[in-house]
Amino acid sequence: MPDFRLEKDSLGEIKVPKNAYWGAQTQRAVENFPVSSIRFPEVFIRSLAYIKLACAKVNGDSLLLDKRLSHAIIRACEEIIAGRFNDQFPLDIFQTGSGTSTNMNANEVIAARANEMITGKKNSKSPVHPNDHVNMGQSSNDVIPTAIHVSAYIQVKELFIPSMEFLFQTLTHTKKKYKKTVKTGRTHLMDAMPITLEQEMSGWATQVEYSIGRIKDTLPRLAELAIGGTAVGTGVNTQPDFGKRVSKRLSELTNIQFREAKNHFEAQSAQDAIAELSGQLKTCATSLMKISNDLRWMNSGPMAGLAEIRLPSLQPGSSIMPGKVNPVIPEAMRMVCAQVMGNDTVIAIANASGDFQLNVMLPVIAHSIIQSITILAHASRLLAERAIKGFEVNEGHMTELILRNPIIATVLNPLIGYDKAAEVVKKALRDKKSVKQVVVEMGYLDEKEADKLLNPAKMTKAGFSE
């Protein structure tokens, strides 16, 4: 028996793997685009199935689609949503710019499975036809932009926001333990005035908090869906209220308040909401890279670095140097952040490349935004669980360094002036003495005054001058 079957479309016959649920148009795309082996992620396929299910319900309720066919389409979509047919979506993201190949992939798989339910045979076009029935009232040009918005919103809601909130909570909880831990502040990577570790970590926590807020601010635009615009935004070949009714069904299916796009011409010709979301993800990535870099510096050593903290030992760090342990989680986070920044550039270029009534870089936009959301969410949770939660503080070392640090002479400025304070610093460095010793030797303060003034813990409080 041959391991293929013949399928036919408007271009003629083509061989399709015998056990595949997809049809001729999907097979042509398989053969035309062997580019990267990068596939659409599961959340995008799930979102496509949500859209097809919602459309079948609306068309069935309107009596435009036979109830028997509508019911079979809905059941097939439910199976795809459950993850049963993930292997039936083989297409590369680098394909036709509208994503037509992937829309037809969904139409063909759903039709074949619906027909199998009705007839017991995996027929590709009868009684359920992929275009006439599964794709009724739709176009790739409104389906794929809708799927991008739906999948991105789902991923933000289900994965990104919970992960970032977990990171925020972890930082907030951990920093409270270090309210009295005083360390050397640093500007320009050079010693600066003392701060507490809690103060330092509060900066990180606020960065994360603001990142969550920025992403949430984009969601109202992300909730607008292109469905109902069909080919060019005019809604040709569909019901006037189709977009509104499908959006309502999608809201019920996903528990997300979607709505029909305010303007279908904007919704199909551009992906501005995704570009906005990507820009906020990039901002978040820059914050997380800064936090990760701080952790790496603070962990550096153990002998020749800052050695302020010890990150959890997760794996051997060298194939040649015994006992070496590296800050692997912050390193992974930095790579994730770099990828997110790169994805934002891809999305910006792709969004700017819309032509008249359609953006024709939709698949790479879909891949890039979902990857950014996903990897940033996973890495944020790892940073919380495997770096911040378990790090140890080398308090004795930090205290020793702060007491030896001449920069604390800054608090002398209001009493003896900047120039004399600078003399104290230079002499302390030259003679390898503490500021307290030098300021007393030079007669600027007596020992009691020096003890009271040169207290690093007091210097961490706003308004301290004595």
Catalytic residues: 188, 318
Q: What is the CA radius of gyration of the chain?
A: 30
Peptide bond into 194 cis (omega under 30): no
Distance CA 198, CA 214 (A): 24
Amino acid at the residue 374? T
In whole angstroms, give the CA distance from residue 175 to residue 180.
10
Report the distance separating Cα 410 and Cα 407, nearest Å: 6
Half-sphere exposure of 407 (CA within 13 A, CB side): 16
Cα separation, 207 vs 187, whole angstroms? 18
Contact 145, 362 (CB under 8 A): yes
Parallel, antiparallel or unpaired: strands 259-260 and 309-310: unpaired
User: What's the CA gap between 232 and 234, in Å, rounded?
Assistant: 6
User: How far is Cα 221 from Cα 219, in angstroms, rounded to an integer?
Assistant: 5
> Encoding tokens for residue 46?
């799930």
Question: Taking the CB of residue 151, how many other CB atoms lie within 10 A of it?
Answer: 25
For residues 311 and 391, is the Cβ–Cβ distance under 8 A? yes
Fill in the amino acid letter for 10.
S
Nearest to 283 by CA among 362, 344, 351: 344
What 3-state class would DSSP assign to 358? strand
Q: Which two tokens stand for residue 64?
A: 């435009």
